[in-house]
A and B are shown apart, each in its own frame.
Chain A
């Protein structure tokens, strides 16, 4: 698989490709479900108007009070600091160093998975936000006034986060590819650079403003968190219907780019070792023949394919949006483009689950086993007595992995259809026109879902 270079570096095991019969069944189910959704869809929006219901006051005070907030922030800062330290000081062996598994598996996959159920879990632990808020509070106490910020250019919207998201995946998948493998040291240096950049941006534009728009991890994890059912606002813990909060997510420019980048990044990672493995290696060989160094050739080629992947995913979505524009009474192209992007969030999540679920299950055993007791990989420390634990690859069967992979794509597809159908009913008062517009979104989603299934069936080539 391997599949993906990172999984290669961390996990000894790659997933088996989904067998053809399962691929066929899943694709058939997707198509049948899609057409029935069109034929029998509801006629008035269901997700667009939603209300939060506050939970118990005592619970909110304990979980959201200032002492709790400070604690979360300190935990976040400690873990970031420790990751940088372990990356710089620990072993260079990727699978034996705490840092890579913690940052690229536990956080990078764990926050989307769990936030999609429970709501935004990253926000309280965000170390940069914690530092920014503490600094702001300190400044306020000393200067007696709130710090002034530059006005964030509204047009820039979430574009910094979208580009940053591609950059993170690039670092993870492309930079480390070609047999070099991303090492803990590089990751720690990247984390340091990113910390400096983020704190500078927070100082310039304000902590919350930057978290909402430019801070890669807040935006990315926050996007999946919109699917989840808990939300903290006005100092109270609130409950909200699942999926509903996605409807208000894409109000900031560049949001569509974030969700498309997410789908593109995951599919590129899946395709690089399977579907486009041969084109990548022949293109890289061609570059080597032209006199470009071997490592540079592989990185250049992979970068090009990754951008191509982003371009292709964007093109498919834009075709769907253009198609909807042909339905009488359609809003402007720009409004459609922004307005339907949230319906891709469940599909982006499904891609993540399909591609990384097994890696997460196996690698978390390492995280809470030997990496916890021997974070630097020295072989001499055993903090919690778990240093000799190894990963049990029998904890889930191959069949179980296949069903989770395929199941997540099918469920994500259905959720996406529901959100898109709902949005169409909000844009077209006539429900027949709304349904007609959904032929287009349906085609987009069937394309994404079947492409996702295809990637699974050829994974690890």
Chain B
């Protein structure tokens, strides 16, 4: 039975290895609780009003609520060695004034960090930039509308390296007419001066939802924005537990029929309109929602047992 002993030792070692791998796996899964992810991400889209047309700003914005709020952006396609500033706004990118008013913890309070979230950075030689700003306070769900990047033309003396956003940022609010659009969120202070130039790029976070939902009630309903027959930012992955209410909205620039497979629900959305789905998550599994006419998938709906 010498054999058997060796085998059992080897077996235990392997079992331990498997267990370790499995545990490692479960640690990886980012804290998704109650069907809502702690992080929201958005892709930067170059805005129409950006002055130069020969460059295309691309990149990602990520808002993490797992501990206070951490907002980080990573952008490319900027002009090399140039100072930029990005702000967290309450509105969506699709508004007439992209992003609407700046996000503020105390509405109508200070227009500077820490009451607002600003990220200053200088692009490197390749036109890339990264910045992170954090706050101990949590941005309420639904109010982190979008992140908008401007060129930083302020006369600030300090030259900022990519990194932590600084508190002593000079910031002047955009304009009163825009401040009203965010569904009553913003402070709405009119200060006509511009300390920084035109908006260059915008990354949609929760803006579409906030814009549609108006006040706080619908703030945490995810909204899928469909542009040119495709979901902005890729197929949206929505996760719910069985028994919860599945709720999401679809906004489309073209008239379409939205079809949720499995549950077999269909609703029409007019061009430029929004349609809301709300139904109990009673079927487990993974289901698609798609644009019925174009056959393009917009949502992957995962219902966990």
Known contacts A32-B11, A35-B7, A394-B283; 6 further A-B pairs (Cβ under 8 A): A16-B304, A35-B8, A38-B7, A390-B264, A393-B262, A398-B284
Q: Which of A7-15, A146-154, A373-381 contacts B (4 or more CB under 8 A)?
A: A7-15
Answer whether residue B305 sits at the interface, using C-beta atoms and an 8 A cutoff. yes
Q: Is A31 in contact with B4, judged by CB distance below 8 angstroms? A: no
Specify which chain A residues have a CB less than 8 angstroms from the CB of B11 in the assembled complex.
Answer: 31-32, 35
Residue of B nearest to A39 (CB): B4
Cross-chain pair count, CB within 8 angstroms: 77
5 chain-A/chain-B pairs, Cβ below 8 angstroms: A8-B288, A35-B11, A38-B7, A39-B3, A398-B284
Answer whether residue B14 sits at the interface, using C-beta atoms and an 8 A cutoff. yes
Residue of A nearest to B25 (CB): A20
Q: Is B15 in contact with A31, judged by CB distance below 8 angstroms? A: yes
Q: Is B285 in contact with A24, judged by CB distance below 8 angstroms? A: no
Specify which chain B residues have a CB less than 8 angstroms from the CB of A290 in the assembled complex.
Answer: none
**Please, how many residues of chain A have a CB less than 8 angstroms from a CB on the other chain?**
30
A275 nearest CB across to chain B (Å): 14
Within 8 A of A (CB), among B1-47: 3-4, 7-8, 10-11, 14-15, 18-19, 21-23, 25-26
Q: How far is the CA of A14 from the CA of B286 in the complex (A)?
A: 5
Within 8 A of A (CB), among B118-170: none
Answer whether residue A2 sits at the interface, using C-beta atoms and an 8 A cutoff. yes
Q: Is B283 in contact with A13, judged by CB distance below 8 angstroms? A: yes
Q: How far is the CA of A397 from the CA of B11 in the complex (A)?
A: 33
Answer whether residue A27 sits at the interface, using C-beta atoms and an 8 A cutoff. yes
Answer whether residue B302 sits at the interface, using C-beta atoms and an 8 A cutoff. yes
Specify which chain B residues have a CB less than 8 angstroms from the CB of A27 in the assembled complex.
Answer: 18, 22
Specify which chain A residues have a CB less than 8 angstroms from the CB of B286 in the assembled complex.
Answer: 1-3, 13-16, 460
Residue of B nearest to A432 (CB): B3
Q: Is B26 in contact with A21, judged by CB distance below 8 angstroms? A: yes
Q: Is B18 in contact with A24, judged by CB distance below 8 angstroms? A: yes
Q: How far is the CA of A410 from the CA of B302 in the complex (A)?
A: 27
Answer whether residue B282 sits at the interface, using C-beta atoms and an 8 A cutoff. yes
Q: Is B285 in contact with A28, judged by CB distance below 8 angstroms? A: no
Residue of B nearest to A450 (CB): B18
Q: How far is the CA of A333 from the CA of B304 in the complex (A)?
A: 48
Residue of B nearest to A13 (CB): B285
Which residues from chain B sit less than 8 Å from chain A, CB to CB? Answer: 3-4, 7-8, 10-11, 14-15, 18-19, 21-23, 25-26, 261-262, 264, 282-288, 295, 302-305
Interface centre among A12, A398, A435 (most CB of B within 10 A): A12
Answer whether residue A399 sits at the interface, using C-beta atoms and an 8 A cutoff. yes
Task: Return the contact of B18 from the options A28, A39, A393 (Cβ within 8 A).
Answer: A28
Residue of B nearest to A460 (CB): B286
A40 nearest CB across to chain B (Å): 8
Residue of B nearest to A358 (CB): B285
A8 nearest CB across to chain B (Å): 8
B282 nearest CB across to chain A (Å): 7
A19 nearest CB across to chain B (Å): 9
Q: Is A14 in contact with B287, judged by CB distance below 8 angstroms? A: yes
Specify which chain B residues have a CB less than 8 angstroms from the CB of A31 in the assembled complex.
Answer: 11, 14-15, 18
Specify which chain B residues have a CB less than 8 angstroms from the CB of A399 in the assembled complex.
Answer: 305
Q: Is A13 in contact with B22, judged by CB distance below 8 angstroms? A: no
Specify which chain A residues have a CB less than 8 angstroms from the CB of B3 in the assembled complex.
Answer: 39, 435
B10 nearest CB across to chain A (Å): 7
Specify which chain B residues have a CB less than 8 angstroms from the CB of A393 in the assembled complex.
Answer: 262, 283-285
Residue of B nearest to A458 (CB): B25
Q: How far is the CA of A416 from the CA of B3 in the complex (A)?
A: 22
B253 nearest CB across to chain A (Å): 21
Q: How far is the CA of A12 from the CA of B289 in the complex (A)?
A: 10
Q: How far is the CA of A31 from the CA of B23 in the complex (A)?
A: 17
Q: Is A24 in contact with B287, judged by CB distance below 8 angstroms? A: no
Q: Is B287 in contact with A13, judged by CB distance below 8 angstroms? A: yes
A444 nearest CB across to chain B (Å): 15
B255 nearest CB across to chain A (Å): 22
Q: How far is the CA of A15 from the CA of B262 in the complex (A)?
A: 12
Q: Is B15 in contact with A12, judged by CB distance below 8 angstroms? A: no
Answer whether residue A108 sits at the interface, using C-beta atoms and an 8 A cutoff. no
Q: How far is the CA of A399 from the CA of B304 in the complex (A)?
A: 10
Answer whether residue A23 sits at the interface, using C-beta atoms and an 8 A cutoff. yes
Q: How far is the CA of A32 from the CA of B7 in the complex (A)?
A: 10
Q: Is A15 in contact with B264, judged by CB distance below 8 angstroms? A: no
B296 nearest CB across to chain A (Å): 8
Task: Return the contact of A20 from the options B7, B22, B303, B305 (Cβ within 8 A).
Answer: B22
Q: How far is the CA of A27 from the CA of B22 in the complex (A)?
A: 10
A159 nearest CB across to chain B (Å): 37
Q: How far is the CA of A40 from the CA of B21 in the complex (A)?
A: 28
Residue of A nearest to B284 (CB): A398
Residue of B nearest to A393 (CB): B283
Specify which chain B residues have a CB less than 8 angstroms from the CB of A21 in the assembled complex.
Answer: 22, 26
Q: How far is the CA of A390 from the CA of B264 in the complex (A)?
A: 10
Q: How far is the CA of A31 from the CA of B17 in the complex (A)?
A: 11
Interface centre among B10, B21, B264, B284 (most CB of A within 10 A): B284
Q: Is B285 in contact with A15, judged by CB distance below 8 angstroms? A: yes
Interface centre among A3, A27, A35, A435 (most CB of B within 10 A): A35
Q: Is B19 in contact with A24, judged by CB distance below 8 angstroms? A: yes
Specify which chain A residues have a CB less than 8 angstroms from the CB of B285 in the assembled complex.
Answer: 13-16, 393, 398
Specify which chain A residues have a CB less than 8 angstroms from the CB of B7 in the assembled complex.
Answer: 35, 38-39
A349 nearest CB across to chain B (Å): 24
Q: Is A28 in contact with B19, judged by CB distance below 8 angstroms? A: yes
Q: Is A397 in contact with B15, judged by CB distance below 8 angstroms? A: no
Q: Is B287 in contact with A12, judged by CB distance below 8 angstroms? A: yes
Q: How far is the CA of A27 from the CA of B295 in the complex (A)?
A: 39
Q: Is A24 in contact with B22, judged by CB distance below 8 angstroms? A: yes
Q: Is B22 in contact with A12, judged by CB distance below 8 angstroms? A: no
Q: How far is the CA of A460 from the CA of B288 in the complex (A)?
A: 12
